[in-house]
Structure 1
Amino acid sequence: MVAGIIGLSKVDGVLHQGLTGLTSRQRAIAQNISNVDTPGYKAVDVRFEDVLRSEMQGQTDAGALRMTSAAHMDPGAAGRQLGVVKPNTTLRADGNSVDLDEEMVKLADTQLTYDALSQILSTRHSIMQSIVNDGRR
């Protein structure tokens, strides 16, 4: 029973990290969109999926996110070292590398993924609440 609860905590921690990473990505996309007309601006991206995949498989590297308990997770960890400046893909004469269409697609995808993870986390919490309440009877 306790091992199952610890496993749930780890999954919840990974879900929270996913939400934090998606929030960081949304901020980067908003920054890119707001600088679409800024000469010389280089678009940034936030990549965190590989870190989460390693965490879920229990194969973290020394520099990757590491969790021993959901209570020990640093909510800001997913946003650190994840901002990546895109390679020089400038197609514009002013040196700006923002592709507005690409950013809008990424924004929609990020929102859908965030909504899905939020729903999964909410459902997991509802199930745990139901288990706790049924255990009191």
Structure 2
Amino acid sequence: MGLFDSATFHNLQNGLKGAAMEQKAISENIANVDTPNYKAKSAQFQHTLDEAIQNEKMHANVTNNKHIEFGSNNQSQAYLSEDETTMYNHNGNNVDMDKEMSDSAKNQIYYNALTDRLSSKFNSLKSAIRGG
């Protein structure tokens, strides 16, 4: 087991990847606010984080190859989805600029919280290495 193989680092990494994917989707939506027939996209990654937390709670100590492993190893991946159900503009576009700006601010707060937590973990490791 390496220094950065802990579940916390793994979950923080997945959260940062999801937040980056969400920011990319928001940026694409804002860039295409006037594009005819463009459908707003959003990242779907919360389910992957929930699965990781559930699998962490259901960890089994396997001492024999005949033991059954708890939890599932087939985690689903994050993906982008399009909202086909609404239409805000007469040209078929459904990008709501107010919603996108709100989502961007919310995602930025989430991303900052994750980076603060990751920074705290690195500072703890640095303190342990220095012996303080």
- CA displacement at 1:89 relative to structure 2: 0.8
1:18–1:52 Cα contact (<8 Å) kept: yes
Q: Which residue of structure 1 lines up, in the alignment, with residue 74 of structure 2? A: 62
- CA displacement at 1:87 relative to structure 2: 3.1
Moved over 3 A (4+): none
Q: What's the TM-score once normalised by structure 1's chain length?
A: 0.77
In structure 1, C-alpha distance between the alignment counterparts of 2:115 and 2:25, rounded to whole Å: 20
Q: Which residue of structure 2 lines up, in the alignment, with residue 17 of structure 1? A: 14
1:117 aligns with 2:120: no
Q: Which residue of structure 2 lines up, in the alignment, with residue 34 of structure 1? A: 31
In structure 1, C-alpha distance between the alignment counterparts of 2:73 and 2:90, rounded to whole Å: 41
1:11–1:56 Cα contact (<8 Å) kept: no
Question: Structure 1: which amino acid aligns with 2:90?
Answer: A
Q: Which residue of structure 2 lines up, in the alignment, with residue 44 of structure 1? A: 41
In structure 2, C-alpha distance between the alignment counterparts of 1:30 and 1:118, rounded to whole Å: 20
1:84 aligns with 2:96: no
Q: Which of the pair is proportionally richer in helix?
A: 1
Identity %: 34
In structure 1, C-alpha distance between the alignment counterparts of 2:94 and 2:73, rounded to whole Å: 32
- CA displacement at 1:132 relative to structure 2: 2.1
1:24–1:46 Cα contact (<8 Å) kept: yes
Across the aligned residues of Structure 1 and Structure 2, the Cα RMSD in angstroms comes to 2.0
Structure 1: gaps (5+ residues): 66-77
1:107 aligns with 2:104: yes
What is the SS of the residue equivalent to 2:6? helix
1:96 aligns with 2:123: no
Question: Structure 1: which amino acid aligns with 2:17?
Answer: T
